[in-house]
Amino acid sequence: MVTIEMSETSYTDSEYQSTFLTDHSIAYLAREITKIYTRNLQIAIAEHGILIGQYHFLRVLWEKDEITQRELANAVGMKESTTFTALAGMEKQGLLTRKRDSNDRRKMTVRLTDKGRGLRSKLIPIAKAVNDRPLAELSPEQVSDLKSMLEILRNNLIGEFIPGSTEDFLDHLSGSYGHGRFLNHDLISSAHFSDHSGTGFHIPEVSGLAGT
C-alpha cells in the first residue's frame, strides 16, 4: 500500500484517488492563479478602455499585423464566429480595420489602426508589471525553474489530445466543458500555446489559463 503525504495530511493511494482535495490539484491551482492574474490585468488596463479579451487580440496583432480573421482566431484560441463579433466591437472603437479579400470573399484581413498600435507602448509595461509583481520574492533561478516545469506540463497536456486543427481542438473542449471557447475565455489565450505576452512567463493559456 502506498502512502501519500501532502500538506500535513497522509492518505493511502486509494484514499487519495477517491478524495483528491482541491489543494492537491495542480489544475485547480493553475486556474486560481490565472483567475487572479486575469483580474489584476483587467483592472490595470481598464483606464485605457480595453477589455481583457481585446487585449489578447491586440497582443497578437502587435507582433504580426495584417493577418486573416481565421489566423487571429487560431492564435488567440477563439472560435472564428466569436472572433468576428469581438473584432466588430474593436473596429467600432477605432482599434482596427477589417477588409475582405478581393479574390476570396471568405477571407477577411485584420489590420491595426494608429490608435490600436499606439496602445502597445502603454499596455505592455502594465502587463509586464502585473506579470512580474507576484514573482518578486522568487530568485531568477526559481522563476526559470517554474517556467520550465509549466512548459513541461503544458506540453504533456497538449500530447493528450489527438492532433488536428485549432477548430477541432476548440470543438473538443466545447464538448468536454460546454463552452464554445477555452474554458473561461474572458481571457484568451493561445490554441497554439505560444507566448504572445513577451513577458517571459508562460502559463498555458487555456482560459481558465491566460497569461499577460
Whether residue 199 is predicted with pLDDT greater than 60 in this model: the reply is: no
How many angstroms separate the CA atoms of 57 and 53, rounded?
7
pLDDT digits (tens, 9 = 90+) for 132-166: 999 999 999 999 999 999 999 989 988 876 555 55
Sequence-ordered list of residues with C-beta below 8 angstroms from that of 130, at least 6 positions apart, any chain: 37, 40, 41, 44, 212
In this structure, what C-alpha cell is assigned to residue 158? 497538449
If one compares 212 and 117, the residue with the highest pLDDT of the two is: 117
The pLDDT assigned to 10 comes to: 57
